[in-house]
A and B are shown apart, each in its own frame.
Chain A
Amino acid sequence: MDDLEQVILAYVKREYIDEDDNREVTPTTPLISGGIVDSFSMVSLKRFVEKKYDIQIPDADASTAAFDTVQKIVALVERFRHAKV
């Protein structure tokens, strides 16, 4: 779980935070409602976790609320990873 969290957190920091943007991003920082990732960019974030963890998240489950923090994304990924087994 921790590794998953670190990987997604690192990706969010690298891809969605500009160099001069000194906001701190933690696993509980609101991403969508906090204006860090917008609903359009969420598609690339979803694509990343699907590719990285070899899962498919149906559109019905990929809500802005489900992607609002790294912690919530981890829970979503875990759910679909287990569903696959």
Chain B
Amino acid sequence: MTATLVESSWEVAERELGLQPGGPVNIGWFCTDRICEMGRRDVPALIWEDFRGVERTYTFDDLRLKTNAMARWLRGLGLEPGDRICLFMDRVPELYLGVLAILKMGGVAQPLFSAFGEESLGTRLADAGTAAIITQKKHLSKVRKIRDTLPALRHVIVVDAPAGTLKESELDLTLDDLPECQSFDVHPTTAESPSLLHYTSGTTGQPKGAQHVHGSLVAQYITTKRVLDLRDDDIYWCNADPGWVTGTSYGIIGPWACGATQVVLDAGFNAEHWYAFIQKHRVTVWYSAPTAIRLLMREGTDLVRKFDLSSLRHLCSVGEPLNPEAVVWGQQAFGRPFHDTFWQTETGCIVITNLPGMPVKPGSMGKPFPGITACVLDPQTNQPITETGRVGLIALRPGWPSMLRGYWKNPTAYEKKFRNGWYICGDRASVDADGYFWFVGRDDDVINTGGHLVGPFEIESALLEHPAVAESAAVAKPDKINMEVVKAFVTLKPGFTPSSDLELEIMNVIRKRLSPLAMPQEIEFVASLPKTRSGKIVRRVLRAQEWGQPVGDISTLMEE
């Protein structure tokens, strides 16, 4: 009898990448030097464009040389392997190259969304004990405001500061001025060496840093090939900002580990501009998000027809569930459907997906990626649900290569992510007879707005800092474009009266301190908030009210 040997997805990736068990793995090297060694030295790796149409192109050899130079410069500052180095920038080339440079010198890259206000930024830098931050002049004022509160922060580095505008304690890093570095001694990281620290929000407490490792490359490489279907001659566009995990896993690591050319548009949303961008660069594979797709839908299909978008051959989406209408619209507008993909900061790679060629059921997340064992778990028994259509918790069998290795200095939060040997994603879904997963909603109070998770605790804490606010509760409210937006319920201190002026003032305070995502899109001033007898605010009652759902058992609530 002969045994049939079937390689798992991960084994295929390890073989294709030439990885040896226990051998060196450095994402920075794999995305640059290795691709050059494969003969793709002169292939464009990054074609970057800003909203004015200014363009910069970097070949894989440019990527190799510039990341070498940047890595050497960072090492020269005394930064050491394991040091957390934050990247706080818009989608400029220095951000993309900076991530790889940090990884090459053994540092831990900590990208943060550049729209974060000083409070959100400070919380995450303090928690990580970040040693250096690389930023742009336009974001420097936020860093300056909090620097004194961050004793671990040794270096503030600015990539685009005009001469003479920096303080003595700040450093200028102009990429084009760095001396060429043909050869850099890449830090000998292995599969379990820390690589990235991505912050994510939960229901309680401040955001947690999901720790990833260099071995994540295996999963990001193979899912990029098989889900995004990237091939050598593709021109790939990922809409995600590297301040979030999609922007690093599939905006840096996955495509460049495959040696693909990617285009980046450093601009805000404008449907006409986006279509012109696809047409100009002949984009073939597009990884977008439901919020963006719904914004495009709003502009109609007539606009699409004004452009030649025939280069597009594969479309994918991530962030929040893609509604059936958006899938159908994609088919009408582009002649092909968007393939929904599901994953999260903690998973590091796509885990449930509609693979190319698989029949797309509009509204379904698809099936587990080969190599991922997924189920929906009964929340009471913690056993996998076998009946089709019954809703449970999306759960994954631990052990895939890009799974987080922990939350930074928060082992308790990490332990809470597991039940009966399963990793719990925090989302609810059902599975149909064909094995397709259907998203139902979050299993906690976290707000998924435009594909980004926002924690209510962080918003409520910031609301309480406003002199007029006595108590607050932040919940998700349904939204046609963003799926959910933040709504805040607020009680006022004596002497303050509700008004539209006060509402706008509070909204702007939260936007600037935390981020535009965290800004309540509506504030309802109320006389009191629903609480348990022990005085804890019960968000679920307010949330149910917003969604027109039954409020459930309220027998334990305090009577007002």
A residues sitting closer than 8 Å to B (CB atoms) are 15, 18-23, 30-41, 43-44, 47-48, 51, 59, 63-65, 68
Chain A residue with minimal CB distance to B500? A51
Q: Does B56 contact A (CB under 8 A)?
A: no
On whether A37 and B268 interact (CB within 8 A), knowing A19-B141, A21-B137, A21-B138, the answer reads: yes
Task: Give Cα A47 to B268, complex, Å.
Answer: 20
Task: Give Cα A39 to B268, complex, Å.
Answer: 8
Q: Does A48 lie within 8 Å of B139, measured CB to CB?
A: no
Q: Does A33 lie within 8 Å of B273, measured CB to CB?
A: yes
Q: Does B268 lie within 8 Å of A43, measured CB to CB?
A: no
B residues sitting closer than 8 Å to A (CB atoms) are 51, 90, 115, 137-142, 144, 266-273, 291, 295, 298-299, 449-450, 480-482, 485, 500-501, 503-504, 507-508, 511, 516-517, 519, 521
Q: Does B140 lie within 8 Å of A20, measured CB to CB?
A: yes
Give chain A nearest CB distance to B512 CB in angstroms: 8
Name 14 A/B residue pairs within 8 A (Cβ), A-sorted.
A18-B141, A33-B270, A34-B267, A35-B268, A38-B268, A39-B291, A40-B450, A40-B482, A40-B485, A43-B507, A47-B500, A63-B298, A64-B271, A68-B270
On whether A44 and B519 interact (CB within 8 A), knowing A18-B142, A34-B268, the answer reads: yes
The 8 A-B residue pairs whose C-beta atoms are closest, nearest first, are: A33-B270, A40-B516, A21-B138, A20-B141, A19-B141, A41-B516, A35-B268, A20-B140
Known pairs A35-B268, A48-B504, A64-B269 / 17 extra A-B pairs, C-beta < 8 Å: A18-B142, A21-B139, A22-B138, A30-B268, A30-B270, A33-B268, A35-B51, A35-B267, A39-B268, A40-B519, A41-B516, A43-B519, A47-B507, A51-B504, A64-B271, A64-B295, A65-B299
Q: Does B501 lie within 8 Å of A51, measured CB to CB?
A: yes
Chain B residue with minimal CB distance to A19? B141
Q: What residues of A have a CB within 8 angstroms of the CB of B51 in the complex?
A: 30, 33-35
Give chain A nearest CB distance to B361 CB in angstroms: 29
Q: Out of B138, B266, B295, name the residue touching A18 (CB < 8 Å).
A: B138
Q: What residues of B have a CB within 8 angstroms of the CB of A64 in the complex?
A: 268-271, 295
Task: Give Cα A68 to B295, complex, Å.
Answer: 14
Q: Does A44 lie within 8 Å of B507, measured CB to CB?
A: yes
On whether A39 and B137 interact (CB within 8 A), knowing A33-B268, A34-B51, the answer reads: no
Q: Out of B269, B450, B482, B521, name the residue touching A32 (CB < 8 Å).
A: B269
Q: What residues of A have a CB within 8 angstroms of the CB of B500 in the complex?
A: 47, 51
Q: What residues of B have a CB within 8 angstroms of the CB of A47 in the complex?
A: 500, 503-504, 507
Task: Give Cα A6 to B259, complex, Å.
Answer: 49
On whether A43 and B273 interact (CB within 8 A), knowing A18-B139, A34-B268, the answer reads: no
Task: Give Cα A15 to B519, complex, Å.
Answer: 14
Most B-side CB within 10 Å, residue of A20, A21, A34, A51:
A20
Q: What residues of B have a CB within 8 angstroms of the CB of A30 in the complex?
A: 51, 268, 270
Q: Does B141 lie within 8 Å of A63, measured CB to CB?
A: no
Q: What residues of A have a CB within 8 angstroms of the CB of B503 in the complex?
A: 47
Give chain A nearest CB distance to B235 CB in angstroms: 21
Q: Does B137 lie within 8 Å of A20, measured CB to CB?
A: yes
Q: Does B141 lie within 8 Å of A35, measured CB to CB?
A: no
Chain B residue with minimal CB distance to A63? B298
Q: What residues of A have a CB within 8 angstroms of the CB of B291 in the complex?
A: 39
Q: Does A63 lie within 8 Å of B299, measured CB to CB?
A: yes
Q: What residues of B have a CB within 8 angstroms of the CB of A35 in the complex?
A: 51, 90, 266-268
Q: Does A32 lie within 8 Å of B137, measured CB to CB?
A: no
Chain A residue with minimal CB distance to B303? A65
Q: What residues of B have a CB within 8 angstroms of the CB of A38 in the complex?
A: 115, 268-269, 516
Give chain A nearest CB distance to B139 CB in angstroms: 7
Task: Give Cα A63 to B115, complex, Å.
Answer: 21
Q: Out of B141, B481, B485, B508, name the residue touching A44 (CB < 8 Å).
A: B508
Most A-side CB within 10 Å, residue of B141, B144, B295, B508:
B508
Chain A residue with minimal CB distance to B522? A43
Give chain B nearest CB distance to A65 CB in angstroms: 7
Task: Give Cα A46 to B458, complex, Å.
Answer: 25
On whether A33 and B508 interact (CB within 8 A), knowing A41-B519, A63-B299, the answer reads: no
Q: What residues of A have a CB within 8 angstroms of the CB of B481 in the complex?
A: 39
On whether A23 and B516 interact (CB within 8 A), knowing A32-B270, A35-B266, A65-B271, the answer reads: no
Q: Does A23 lie within 8 Å of B270, measured CB to CB?
A: no
Q: What residues of B have a CB within 8 angstroms of the CB of A40 in the complex?
A: 449-450, 482, 485, 511, 516-517, 519, 521
Q: Out of A19, A20, A33, A65, name the residue touching B267 (CB < 8 Å).
A: A33
Task: Give Cα A23 to B138, complex, Å.
Answer: 8
Q: What residues of A have a CB within 8 angstroms of the CB of B480 in the complex?
A: 59
Task: Give Cα A43 to B541, complex, Å.
Answer: 25
Task: Give Cα A2 to B104, complex, Å.
Answer: 54
Most A-side CB within 10 Å, residue of B51, B90, B516:
B516
Q: Out of A36, A41, A65, name the residue touching B270 (CB < 8 Å).
A: A65
Q: Out of A36, A37, A39, name the residue touching B295 (CB < 8 Å).
A: A39
